[in-house]
Amino acid sequence: MEAEAQAHWEATGAFRVTEDPTREKYYCLSMFPYPSGRLHIGHVRNYTIGDVISRFMRKQGRNVLQPMGWDAFGLPAENAAMDNGVPPAKWTYQNIEYMKGQLKSLGFAIDWSREVATCSPDYYRWNQWLFLRMLEKGIAYKKTGVVNWDPVDQTVLANEQVIDGRGWRTGAPVEKREIPMYYLRITEYAPDLLAALDRLPGWPERVRTMQANWIGRSEGVRIGFPYELDGERKLLNVFTTRADTVMGVTFCAVAAEHPLAARAAKDNPELAAFIEECKRGTAMEAELAVMEKKGMPTGLTVTHPLSGEAIPVWVGNYVLMTYGEGAVMGVPAHDERDFGFALKYGLPIRFVIAPAGGAPKEQQEGAPPVPLQEEAPATEWRPEFAEHGVCINSGKYDGLEYAAAVEAIAADLARLGLGEKQVQWRLHDWAISRQRYWGCPIPLIHCPTCGDVPVPDEDLPVLLPENLVPDGSGNPLAKEPSFYECLCPRCGGQARRETDTMDTFVDSSWYFMRFACPDNDQAMVDERANYWMPVDQYIGGIEHAILHLLYSRFWTRVMRDLGLVKVDEPFQNLLTQGMVLNDIYSRRMEDGRIQYFSPADVDVQLDDKGRRIATLRSDGEPVEWEGMRTMSKSKKNGVDPQELVERYGADSVRLFMMFKAPPEDSLEWSDDGVEGAARFMRRLWRMVYEHVSAGVAAKQVPDELTGEQREMRRVVHATLAKVTDDIGRRRVFNTAIAAVMELMNALAKFEDRTEAGRAVRQEALEIIVQALSPIVPHACHALWRALGHDDELMDRPWPKADPAALVKASIEVVVQVNGKLRGRVTVAADADEAQVREAALADPGVQKWVGDKVVRKVIVVKGKLVNVVV
RNA sequence: GCCGGUGUGGCGGAAUUGGUAGACGCAGCAGACUCAAAAUCUGCCAUGGGCAACCAUGUGUCGGUUCGACUCCGACCACCGGCACCA
């Protein structure tokens, strides 16, 4: 049955769309998959959500584009190549072929004529082309950056290839290394990327918050601490949001990579060793944040810009070279990190802020501000130390509160030429160089005489050879003379081609525009992009909330500024779907290692306390339940969608995914649940066939109906209204399906076999089939025909609930006494407040609780509830 | 560590704008049909008390606002996602 529907759609080219300016477009996009080999259950969820929305919008009359492509560059292809010797290109193309078949078997309404793979030269040449434009405009530039270096394999490692600070293959301690890389000046767009978040009401609040925090605008003051070294007068610049605490500075700390640290280490071997230690180990923020704060004095001092005091300079492993200028001022009394640092190394702690408004609770209100502690041997951090307050021990600034103090101090520093107010961003420029093979080549040529020379446009694309097999040590491109040997386009001399490739986030930053015009070999995008863009609905995992979405917003702005497209924002509405989880079962082996078992191989029973008793089917011995987690190969808790589709059919799998949880929540896998979905499909099927096998029913419901028939019809139209709202506005599908299930339960009890009754039933079944068609399109396609129609269900406009059918004669109102439910009364639907109130007070159940007490207040909520307060 | 989220029966979830907590489904139990099984259908199913009508308790914990709180506010606990080279 499903194959037949799919063949029909294929034969009629049902999902092919063309630009039609006379019709309102709807661009529904799901994040394209990495072609890892097989479809993951998470993909199935993602694409089912997109398909439901696409098919629903199509029935709303929109010209719907739902494309699909492949995020085809990346590390897994190189890993697979190392494992089995197959070149990444071959592996990738095979995977694409297989997964495309899987997607087709799920019946998604995808326009396959627009398929794009990022590893295809037709696609990535435009990465290269735009990169060159960015280079011309100064958006792309070169500087050094830090990478994880495996000293044994002589190769750069991705973060995920670093395990506990060691290379995943060699086990060698990883080092931080500085190498030249290309960067994109995303920071130039930071103010706009931040401000425009307010103009994205179709994005989840939390994603906008995460992006805003990531961009991290903070207002503060740059403070220069003068020093003299090697006969030169210089400034050590720090950035602080707490300039009001500047009189409490007792040290400064610089990052290990800071030039001052390097200079000081020149004649201090101990310090040089410490700096080396800092450079070893991780470059990851998460690990840096939890590691022990360490430091070492440089022996150098700088001058406090306002007090003239000599301030020692330390090297601190917690200072980030990538934020501000890689140096911070240390105010131990009012910053938790500085406090810990000072305590550890015996640095003075000077309190310069007193609580505003006479704070600590034990203090009298209105009393003059009293310092928390003064140069006291504070040994324990208290969060209130970091709160804003009033300056003390700060000379002329004493008594000023936060804003005034910052203003006064910034003004004085500006007068001295030692600082100014400044806006600092947490966001830093995007490093796109990757020392890897399976990615888009960066189109540059390094010439010994001309320097870095861009590849001329007419020589694009710089083709990535597809026959290489990485071996884990270094980038194969750098060992392939046929790739890197070239002539300088400027002087014609021998030169070397850049062997770094681009971050795969580049590929995914604009693929959604290419879907509009995938066949254009003359331009990156054309007018068709202006027809389709922006994406009306984007659907993908919450894990992409920051990086992919931010890079895409940036890339779109760059393309806009180059006049390539008109939109500012790529994605109008965003739905971040939750992850798919499954049980994890494990057992600790004798050698201490943990072995994982597939939930399919485990029998589960519940004991009398509801606890889970799990045993391995093969040996009957117990296994440990570790809870529900995201599916992963290593935990052996993945579920193969293909097997499910073969066993239960695509519709059942789609129905289960949409019914089990709201799209934004995580979804817990359950085999029983799919079974239940299949059961529902059979029930629907049977219900339609039982009806039609009894003969043709009238397609028009007669005007004269019995009370029961009218009530049945009311439920049908109320359900339709709810489903329309749930899918169209609320984007929740589980409640829409639940509503249809309720309707089917009611319809099963509706046994009226009169002509009018059968007409009501016919209408009910037609509405059910249409309402479910975006979710379970195959069965609905077939059932629509069974119900006696020969038009295309997919293109039939979405049905509208009949307002006349929704009218109710009477309604039930619940009655509370002091907020507790004590009775129910049925009143006419048009009863006024006084009538409802009277009926409520007259109810015997209510009477019992009111008794002879005085009714103090009666709250009437129209059509819902009455609360009697006694 | 920082940022974001989640927490409701045995389980997944529902309650859309502060107004009946537990819709719908899964699992379970009982029954119908059957020689039997499967499939299907019907009923029961938060906890405690009660023969019952009914009563009390209950949405992670503690406190607050309100006639009324799963929903709003404050503090806390647990778990999950992201943290710039996984995609």
Q: What is the pLDDT of residues A65-86, one digit of tens each?
A: 999 999 999 999 999 999 999 9
Spell out the residues 6+ positions from residue A838 whose beta carbon is closer than 8 angstroms to its own.
none
The crossing angle, in degrees rounded to 10, of helices A671-693 and A755-772 is 140
- Spacing of A70 CA from B74 C1' in Å: 48
Would you say residue A19 has pLDDT above 60? yes
Q: CB of residue A469 closer than 7 A to nucleic acid strand B?
A: no
Instruction: Estimate in Å the CA A666 to C1' B9 gap, whole number.
Output: 20
A705 CB inside 7 Å of strand B: no
Chain A 196..225 CB hits on strand B (< 7 A): 205-206, 209-210, 213-214, 216
Measured from the CB, is A387 under 7 Å from any atom of strand B? no
pLDDT confidence of residue A370: 47
Please tell me which of A588-597, A729-738, A835-844 the model is most confident about, judged by mean pLDDT: A729-738
Strand B contacted by A28 CB (< 7 A) = no
Counting Cα atoms < 13 Å in the Cβ hemisphere of A642 gives 11
| pLDDT confidence band for A486 (50 / 70 / 90) | very high
Nucleotide closest to residue A547 (CA–C1'): B84
Distance in Å from B25's C1' to A604's CA comes to 20
Question: Does residue A534 have a cis bond before it (omega within 30 degrees)?
Answer: yes
Structure tokens at A483: 């790739």
Residue nearest to nucleotide B21 (CA to C1'): A821
Residues 6+ apart with CB under 8 A from A661: A578, A667, A668, A734
Ordered alpha helix ranges (H), A417-546: 481-484, 504-507, 511-514, 527-532
| String of DSSP letters for A206-274 | HHHHHHHHHH-EEEEEEEEEEEEETTEEEEEEEEES-GGGGGG--EEEE-TTSHHHHHHHTT-HHHHHH
**What pLDDT is stored for residue A614 in this prediction?**
78
Residue A668: nearest nucleotide (C-alpha to C1'): B12
Q: Residue A708, Cβ neighbours under 10 Å: how many? A: 13
- Asked, as a colleague might, if the bond just before A204 is cis with ω within 30 of 0, I would say no
A579 touches strand B (CB under 7 A): yes
**Amino acid at residue number A866:** V
Q: What pLDDT is recorded for position A369?
A: 44
Nucleotides of strand B within 7 Å of the protein's CB atoms: 1-6, 10-16, 19-21, 23-27, 39-42, 55-56, 67-69, 80-87
CA A213 to CA A287: how far, in whole Å?
19
Q: How far is CA A376 from CA A54, A386, A852, in A?
A: 67, 16, 68
- State residue A633's pLDDT score: 75
- Which residue places its CA closest to the C1' of nucleotide B86? A160
pLDDT at A637: 81
Between the alpha carbon of residue A92 and those of residues A95, A114, A210, A590, the distances in Å are 5, 19, 33, 39
User: pLDDT value at position A292?
Assistant: 82
Phi-psi region of A216 (alpha: psi -120 to 50; beta: other; left: phi over 0): left
Q: Is the CB of A726 under 7 A from strand B?
A: yes
Residue A304 is predicted with a pLDDT of 96
Return chain A residues 529..548 having CB < 7 Å to nucleic acid strand B: 541-548
Q: What is the DSSP string of A289-333?
A: HHSPP-EEEEEEEEE-TTT--EEEEEEETT--TTSTTSEEEE-TT
pLDDT for the residue numbered A862: 85
CB of A181 lies under 7 Å from some atom of strand B: yes
| Alpha carbons A760 and A77: distance in angstroms, whole number | 57
Task: List the one residue out of A33, A105, A270, A13 whose CA is nearest residue A653.
Answer: A105
Would you call A149 helix, strand, or coil by DSSP? strand
Any atom of strand B under 7 A from CB of A725? yes
Kindly state the tokens that stand for A812: 């039930």
- Alpha-carbon span A134 to A184, nearest angstrom: 8
Q: Is the CB of A286 less than 7 A from some atom of nucleic acid strand B?
A: yes
Digit-coded pLDDT (tens) for A493-546: 999 999 999 999 999 999 999 999 999 999 999 999 999 999 999 999 888 889
- The answer to whether some atom of strand B lies closer than 7 Å to the beta carbon of A857 is yes
Question: Residue A599 — very low, low, confident or very high, per pLDDT cuts 50/70/90?
Answer: confident
Statement: residue A364 has pLDDT above 50:
no
Taking all residues of chain A, what is their mean pLDDT, rounded to a whole number? 90
| Strand, coil or helix: A350 | coil
Say how many residues make up chain A: 870
pLDDT of residue A359: 42
- Is the CB of residue A23 inside 7 Å of nucleic acid strand B? no
CA→C1' distance for A285 and B83 (Å): 6
Is the pLDDT at A285 greater than 50? The verdict is: yes
Burial class of residue A143 in the structure, from the number of CB atoms within 10 Å of its CB (0-12 exposed, 13-18 middle, 19+ buried): exposed
* Average pLDDT value for residue range A245-258: 92
From the C1' of B20, which residue's alpha carbon is nearest?
A: A814
Q: Which of A703, A728, A708 is nearest to A802 (CA)?
A: A703
**A589 backbone dihedrals φ, ψ, rounded to 5°:** -85, 170
> Taking a C-beta distance cutoff of 8 angstroms, is the pair A528, A104 a contact?
no
Cβ neighbours of A654 (radius 10 Å): 28
- Kindly give, in sequence order, each residue whose CB lies less than 8 Å from that of residue A649, ignoring residues fewer than 6 positions away: A1, A2, A678, A681, A778
DSSP A334: T
Buried-state track A54-78, b at ≥16 Cβ within 10 A, e below 16? bbbbbbeebbbbbbbbbbbbbbbbb
Rounded Cα distance between A365 and A399, Å, is 17
- Residues A128-142: pLDDT tens digits? 999 999 999 999 999
Q: CA A868 → C1' B25, Å?
A: 36
CA of A620 to C1' of B36 (A): 30
Nucleotide B1 C1' to residue A185 CA (A): 28
Instruction: Provide the pLDDT for residue A362.
Output: 36
**Shortest CA to C1' contact from A289: nucleotide:** B1
In whole angstroms, what is the distance from residue A151 CA to residue A280 CA?
11
Please compute the mean of the pLDDT values over residues A280-286 and round it to a whole number.
74
Q: Could you give the residue ranges of the DSSP H alpha helices within A366-508?
A: 402-416, 481-484, 504-507
| First-to-last C-alpha distance (Å) of chain A | 64
At residue A376, does pLDDT exceed 60? no
Number of CB atoms found within 10 A of residue A415's CB:
9
Structure token pair of residue A323:
């934020």
SS3 A388: coil
Cβ–Cβ under 8 Å, residues A352 and A398: no
Cβ A36 vs Cβ A78: under 8 Å: no
Q: What is the C-alpha radius of gyration for chain A, rounded to an integer number of angstroms?
A: 34
3-state SS assignment for residue A117: strand
- Nearest nucleotide to the CA of A216, by C1', is B3
Q: What was the pLDDT predicted at A715? A: 95
pLDDT tens, A680-725?
999 999 999 999 999 888 888 888 899 899 999 999 999 999 999 9
Amino acid A50 CA to nucleotide B54 C1' distance, rounded Å = 50
Q: Are A149 and A179 in contact (CB under 8 A)?
A: no
pTM over cut 0.80? yes
Do residues A185 and A140 lie in contact, with contact meaning Cβ atoms separated by under 8 Å? yes
Residue nearest to nucleotide B15 (CA to C1'): A735
**Residue A124 contacts residue A134 (beta carbons within 8 Å):** no
User: CB of A41 within 8 A of CB of A668?
Assistant: no
Task: Work out the burial of residue A7: count CB atoms within 10 Å of its CB; fewer than 13 is exposed, 13-18 middle, 19 or more buried.
Answer: exposed
Reading the block at residue A835, the tokens are 């009538």
DSSP sequence for A682-748: HHHHHHHHHHHHT-PPPSS--S---HHHHHHHHHHHHHHHHHHHIIIII---HHHHHHHHHHHHHHH
CB of A821 nearer than 7 A to strand B: yes
Token pair 């992919």 is found at A548
Q: Could you tell me the two tokens for A825?
A: 């009364």
**Distance in Å, residue A709 CA to nucleotide B54 C1':** 36
Cβ pair A455, A498 in contact under 8 A: no
A735 touches strand B (CB under 7 A): yes
A279 — alpha (psi -120 to 50), left (phi > 0) or beta?
alpha
Q: What is the ipTM of this complex?
A: 0.95
Q: Would you say the C-beta of A139 is within 7 Å of strand B?
A: no
Of A808, A715, A823, A701, nearest in space to A762 by CA? A701
Nucleotide nearest A205 (Cα, C1') = B4
